[in-house]
Amino acid sequence: MTTMTMAGAINAGLRAAMDRDPKVTLMGEDIGKLGGVFRVTDGLHKDFGDDRVMDSPLAESGIVGTAIGMAMRGYRPVIEIQFDGFIFPAYDQITTQLAKMHYRSRGMIQLPVVIRVPFAGGIGAVEHHSESPEALFAHTAGLRIVSPATPQDAYDLIQQSIACPDPVMFFEPKARYWDKGEVDETRVAAQLDAINGHAAGTAEMGSARVAREGQDVTLVAYGPTVRLALQAAEIAGQDGTSVEVIDLRSISPMDSDSVVKSVKRTGRAVVVHEAPTNFGSGAELSARVTEQAFFHLHAPVLRVGGFATPYPGAKFEHDYLPDVDRVLDAVDRVMQH
């Protein structure tokens, strides 16, 4: 076991994938000699060179389009969108080309592209540098959407994403880059090495995990809000409410079966994410839980998330983002039934 930050774990995962497969290449704005604005790719250009770690122009659509062409030629490109708010110029390439080409070609073309997206808030960034657009892409068939909440998951998921034959949107919670945790670097390696790094070990990508066991309420989160959910669960436990915390890990496909199994036992559910609750991933999960566990529910499924406003500037960010008080309020409300 090695103690790493989440940023360090992603770096180590990228390095392991590049060592394993010479077709894995990195591309993005400032990811080369600079090592990325968050230093996630630090040292990789020095060790792998210009041919495999490539600085790109400031052109997100061009970055994704180039990655699509590289994947069609047999490479496994991993591209970085420097900040979440600048992914929208590439939206057309991602949703109309990357997500659909495998289906349109009846399986003849595979596009194993990984798009790394530092996302969400909590760092006091300026306008357009804090967004949570995951639901926009989860609505598009053909894309996998994952988000790690711990260094261990970051290390495992980035390698599984690269090995996956499907295009993967890898949403990295930028406020958690400096969170530290223990990482077992052998856990995923054996699976991936089994068949030269491709496809093996990717089944876990779509599976949720129980981050904390409980009996009274199921609290569901992913990415940046998992730590928040655990903090709320700890406080609720001091008042006698046993809260189970589930980390979705994957937004699409969504492991609603694990959530439903938990809710059938607890009878109550609260979903937490930073994105607006309107038409969000929490709404989809709430619908699935209601459809599949209606007669087990003691209270309506509640959602805690961002508001139906543009992401505010740094000064008002903490008024917008979910906090412990808002989560505990939702837990209290479902416990009243």
Contact 94, 115 (CB under 8 A): yes
CA 220 to chain centre: 14
- Two tokens, residue 127: 């306008």
Question: For the CA atoms of the chain, what is the radius of gyration?
Answer: 20
d(CA 34, CA 189): 28
Beta strands in the chain (DSSP E): 2-5, 24-28, 53-55, 76-80, 114-119, 144-146, 168-173, 180-183, 209-212, 217-221, 243-247, 250-252, 269-276, 302-306
Tally: H helices and E strands in the chain: 13, 14
Query: Is 129 tagged catalytic?
Result: yes
Q: Which residues pair with 5 in a beta bridge?
A: 180
Residue among 102, 129, 198, 273 flagged as catalytic: 129
- Residues 41 and 78: their CA atoms lie apart, in Å, by 11
What CA–CA distance (Å, rounded) separates 337 from 329? 14
* Residues designated as active site: 129
